Amino acid sequence: MIAPVKQYICVTLSYWAFTLTDGALRMLVLLFFHGLGYSPIEIASLFLLYEFFGMITNLYGGWLATRIGLTRTLQIGLAVQILSLIMLLKDASALTVAYVMLAQALSGIAKDLSKMSAKSSIKALVPDQAQSQLYRWIALLTGSKNALKGLGFFLGGALLAWFGFQTTIVFLVALLIMVLAIGFFILETNSGKASYKPKLRDSLIKTDRINRLSAARMFLFGARDIWFVVALPVFLQSQLAWSYIEVGSLMAAWVIGYGAVQTVAPRITSLNGALANGTALFKWASLLFIAPCLMATGLYAGLNPSAVVIVGLVFFGLLFAVNSSLHSYLIVAYAKHDSISLDVGFYYMANAGGRLLGTILSGLIYQQYGLTSCLLMSALMIAASGLIARQLPVPAD
């Protein structure tokens, strides 16, 4: 049997590889199709099935993991991502919106199977009484994942500029095949299996604290994606004339920095696991609320848009990272050992729902009203997240 620390490292490395390719694929699709003349709404539509099927996967992927184990669902996620990438190895003229949406749907399934599996695995490796350790391990996994996602953004933009779309896809496929093959020889196969056989309806029956935290998570991630995933890169390219590499580099630097902050969130919050609760979430959400408000004010006042975006990204990223880490810790702490993947899957279904809502609104609001309006809507969603989470108890209650 693999020791908990070694198992944690193996799971994390597999998740890192997936995240790197997922970030690169997101930037590839966004920049490549914007270069072909697609509108912001059309670009946003490419990711709708990605987020929608992510919701479905989180809801029922947790049920699947209780039966076949978290390692197997993680490996299935890697395999499905390989398939979604291979689908894009067609001539550019054959890559219609509907076809790319289908490939992105598979990628959404892969992403959320991998995320649910990796984060659920940690609960099985940490004793209930070790809440501070659980907080640190969750923060490290989440932060390092986002740092790799940021690197993937840069990789996607750079490889697209240097080698083209199809060559980049081949590179990403080769990386995932190598990681998947290694995992078959290293990872434990029984992690996360339930001692009973849960029914599908158990995926929807949750405690009040999980329902409340899930709703708060939905609004939190909707608040990020409503301006970051479509509106911002299109704004940088179309309004500020930034190149592929410049756009990819900025977004990569932001996500890497945001991930780095997540890894040290327990130190920033000055909370051990036993003290994290709804009051802490409300406080940090209130601080985050200020960031998009200031950015919108700066753009409306006619300040240098590049400076507003860069400074605002730093401020927003720091605070969003702390909010996200607290959320990620609490769902794992609240979840029951024997149904960890069901509870975490439900929570990340809400997370995917927030991204779906944010992606739709990002393209729609940006095309109709501009980036300033996207930022104001972001502030409203942050406020909703903080208010919903305010009454959450500490995990030991």
Q: Which residues of 14-27 are buried (b: 16+ CB within 10 A; e: fewer)?
A: bbbbbbbbbbbbbb
Mean pLDDT (the chain, rounded)? 79
Reply yes or no on whether the pLDDT at 327 is more than 60: yes
Pair 160, 244: CB distance under 8 Å: yes
For 375-387, what is each residue's pLDDT tens digit? 999 999 999 999 9
Enumerate the domain spans of the chain. Answer: 4-185+200-389
Reply yes or no on whether the pLDDT at 3 is more than 60: no
202: part of which helix (H) or strand (E)?
none
Mean pLDDT of 151-175: 81
Mean pLDDT of 167-180: 85
- Residue 239 phi/psi, 5° resolution? -95, -35
When pLDDT is cut at 50, 70 and 90, the band that residue 273 belongs to is: very low
Q: What does the pLDDT read at residue 30?
A: 76
The dihedral over CA atoms of 47, 232, 264, 18, expressed in degrees to the nearest 10, equals 30
DSSP 58-123: HHHHHHHHHHH-HHHHHHHHHHHHHHHHHHT-S-GGG--HHHHHHHHHHHHHHHHHHHHHHHHHHH
Q: How far is CA 87 from CA 9, 12, 46, 94, 108, in A?
A: 31, 26, 14, 11, 14
Q: Is 255 left (phi over 0), alpha (psi -120 to 50) or beta?
A: alpha
- CATH architecture of the domain 4-185+200-389 equals Up-down Bundle (1.20)
Q: What does the pLDDT read at residue 6?
A: 62
Q: Which of 4, 316, 375 is nearest to 187 (CA)?
A: 4
Pair 113, 124: CB distance under 8 Å: no
Pair 187, 10: CB distance under 8 Å: yes
DSSP 135-189: HHHHHHHHHHHHHHHHHHHHHHHHHHHHH-HHHHHHHHHHHHHHHHHHHHHHS-S
The contacts of residue 48 (CB under 8 Å, 6+ apart) are 101, 356, 359, 360
Q: How far is residue 125's CA from residue 128's CA, in Å, rounded to a whole number?
A: 10
Is residue 5 classed as helix, strand or coil in its secondary structure? helix
Tokens of 53: 């099927």
For 8-39, what is each residue's pLDDT tens digit? 666 777 777 888 888 887 777 777 777 777 77
Q: What does the pLDDT read at residue 145?
A: 72
Which tops the pLDDT comparison, 114 or 337? 114
